[in-house]
Amino acid sequence: MGRKPAKTPRAGRPVTATQGAQGVVRGIDSYLPRNGNLGYRVSRYELEVDYKVASNRLSGRADIIAATLEPLKRFSLDLADTLDATKVSVNGTRAARFTQRSGKLEITLGSELPAGAAMTVTVRYSGTPKPIRGPWGEVGWEELDDGVLVASQPNGAASWFPCDDHPASKASYRIAVTTDSPYRVVSNGVLVGRRASAGNTTWVYEQAAPMATYLATLQIGQYEYLKVSEKPVPIRAALPARLFGDFERSFGRQERIMRAFIRWFGPYPFPEYTVVITDDTLEIPIEAQGVSIFGANHCDGTRDSERLVAHELAHQWFGNSLTLTRWKDIWLHEGFACYSEWLWAQECGTATTQQMAARYYRKLAASPQNIVLGDPGAATMFDDRVYKRGALTLHALRAEIGDENFFALLHDWTGQYWHASVSTDNLISLAAKYSPRPLRDLWQSWLYERALPPLPVLPKS
C-alpha cells in the first residue's frame, strides 16, 4: 500500500528485458526505469547490519548470491547515495573497479564470467540511511521518534542494502541486525537467533520464501511482544506497552480474519504473521512480507481501522506471495486487498459486499474518469481509484461467473502462482477456465477503458 500521494514522475524510457529464472521476463520497468539491473538473477541475500539508533549510523555487509544470465564483466546493483560502498568482491576476488553514483553501484570484474555462472557478490558499506525521494514521496529507511520504520514500496530497498530492486527479482533472505539492547528488531521471516553482548543485541531472521526487495523490512523500536494466537497460523504483535489496553479492541479479531481469508483464498503462505504498531502516527499502514506495520493512531481502542487490518493481511496472499512482475499491474495487489475488506465487512456483519461495492462505485462515478486500470501510469499507480476500481473489477468477475467459480478461482490463483511473479494476463487466462462465456468484454471495459462500466450486481442467492 503506497504511503504518499502520487506526484508527477520523471519521464520513462522503453523497457529492456531479459529472460529470468523460471521463465519470468525481467528487466527495467518503465514505471521505475532507474531501478532493477540486467545480466544476472539473485537467488539469496545474506545481510548483516549494525545500526546505532541515536546517531542513525548504519554499517553493513551484503552477500548477494546470484547466477549470470549472459556473459558478464560489468554489472550494477541499486544502492542509495547516502550509503557508501567501501569494499566489493565477487566470488572472493576483489572487484577490478567499482563506482557509485545516482543510486547505482557499478561493478567491473577482472575477467568475464560465462552465462550460467554462480557468483557471490560481497559488498561492505556504511552511512547515514535516509528515505529515497521520488514521485511517490519518501520511501525506504525512515527514522521514527525512537526507532526505525522501513517501508520500501515501490523503490526504497536500496536505502538500506545493495540489491536488484525490481519486483520480479524475488529471493530468499537471511537478515541479521545488531542494535542497542533496549530495542526490539522485527524483520521478515522467522526469528532464528538472538544474542546479547556488551549493550547490543543481534537479531537473526530467516525468510525462506522468495521475497521481492521492496517487501524486505526492518522495524526497530522499544516494543513489547505479544502472542496473539497459535492457530490456524501463529500471529504475533510488537507494540509499545502503553497501547496494550487498546490492542484487543482494535486488533482482537485478527484470528477470525485469518480463518476467513484461508477459507476464501487458500492456505496462508508464510510460517507466521506479525503486526508492528509504532509509537508514532502513520498516515496509512504498510505491508511487508509476513509483517504489517500500523501507527499508534490505528490502535485507538475502536474498530475504526479494522478494514485496514484486513487489507494488510490480505496482502500476504496478494502482493507478497503473488507479486506483480510489472508495476503497471498494481491493481492485482490493491484491488484484491480492497475486495478482501468488502468480503470481511459482510463476514462480520458491517455491510454486505454488494453494499460496499455500491458505496465505492458512487465515489468512483463522482471522480474523474481518466485512469486505465490495467496501466494507470507511474504518477497514479497508488491513486485510490486504482484500488477501488480494482476491487469492483473483481466484483464484476464474481457477478459474471458466480460464487462457486469465483472462490474456486481465488484458490487456484493463489495456489498455482504460490510465491511467484504474476501479471494481469496470467489472471485473465486462468479466469477463462471458470467461465462458460468469454470474458473479453468484461476485462476490456474494466481494465482497458477509462469510462466506468455499470455497477456489477451479484445475483441473489
Give the Cα separation of 254 and 251 in Å (integer). Answer: 6
Q: Which residues contact 390 (CB under 8 A, 6 or more apart)?
A: 331, 332, 334, 335, 336, 338, 339, 373
> Residue 8 has which C-alpha cell?
508527477
Task: Tell me the residue length of the chain.
Answer: 461
Q: Each residue's pLDDT tens digit in the chain (461 positions)? A: 444 322 222 222 222 333 333 334 445 899 999 999 999 999 999 999 999 999 999 999 999 999 999 999 999 999 999 999 999 999 999 999 999 999 999 999 999 999 999 999 999 999 999 999 988 899 999 999 999 999 999 999 999 999 999 999 999 999 999 999 999 999 999 999 999 999 999 999 999 999 999 999 999 999 999 999 999 999 999 999 999 999 999 999 999 999 999 999 999 999 999 999 999 999 999 999 999 999 999 999 999 999 999 999 999 999 999 999 999 999 999 999 999 999 999 999 999 999 999 999 999 999 999 999 999 999 999 999 999 999 999 999 999 999 999 999 999 999 999 999 999 999 999 999 999 999 999 999 999 999 999 999 999 85
Residue ranges of the chain assigned to CATH 1.10.390.10: 323-447
Helix (H, G, I), strand (E, B) or coil at 351: coil
426 membership: H or E segment, kind and range: helix 424-432
Q: Which residues contact 269 (CB under 8 A, 6 or more apart)?
A: 209, 316, 317, 320, 321, 414, 418, 419
CATH fold group of domain 1-212 = Immunoglobulin-like (2.60.40)
Reference 213, options 379, 36, 382; nearest CA is: 36
> Residue 306 has which C-alpha cell?
479494522
Q: Are strands 83-90 and 147-151 parallel, antiparallel or unpaired?
A: unpaired
What backbone torsions phi and psi does residue 95 show, to the nearest 5 degrees?
Answer: -60, 145
What backbone torsions phi and psi does residue 128 show, to the nearest 5 degrees?
Answer: -110, 100
Instruction: Write the DSSP string, 44-101.
Output: EEEEEEEEETTTTEEEEEEEEEEEESS-EEEEEEE--TTEEEEEEEETTEE-SEEEEE
How confident is the model at residue 461, as a pLDDT? 59
Give the Cα separation of 45 and 308 in Å (integer). Answer: 30
Burial string for 141-150 (b: 16+ CB within 10 Å, else e) reads bbbbebbbbb
How confident is the model at residue 28, as a pLDDT? 80
How confident is the model at residue 134, as a pLDDT? 87
Report the half-sphere exposure of 419 (CA within 13 A, side-chain side): 14
Residue pair 258/313 in contact by the 8 Å Cβ criterion: yes
Give the Cα separation of 368 and 372 in Å (integer). Answer: 12
Question: Which class does domain 323-447 fall in?
Answer: mainly alpha
Taking the alpha carbons at both ends of the chain, their separation in whole angstroms is 33
Give the Cα separation of 200 and 59 in Å (integer). Answer: 14
How confident is the model at residue 135, as a pLDDT? 87
Residue ranges of the chain assigned to CATH 2.60.40.1730: 1-212
Helix (H, G, I), strand (E, B) or coil at 396: helix
- Whole-prediction pTM: 0.93
Contacts 24+ apart (CB under 8 A), 95-98: none
Reference 162, options 116, 127, 209; nearest CA is: 127
Give the Cα separation of 79 and 102 in Å (integer). Answer: 9
Amino acid at 416: Q
187 membership: H or E segment, kind and range: strand 184-187
Residue 410, Cβ neighbours under 10 Å: how many? 21
CA 126 to chain centre: 25
> Residue 330 has which C-alpha cell?
498494481
How confident is the model at residue 274, as a pLDDT? 98
Reference 340, options 273, 264, 259; nearest CA is: 264
Burial bucket for residue 337 (CB in 10 Å: 0-12, 13-18, 19+):
buried
> Residue 200 has which C-alpha cell?
547490543
Give the Cα separation of 416 and 9 in Å (integer). Answer: 34
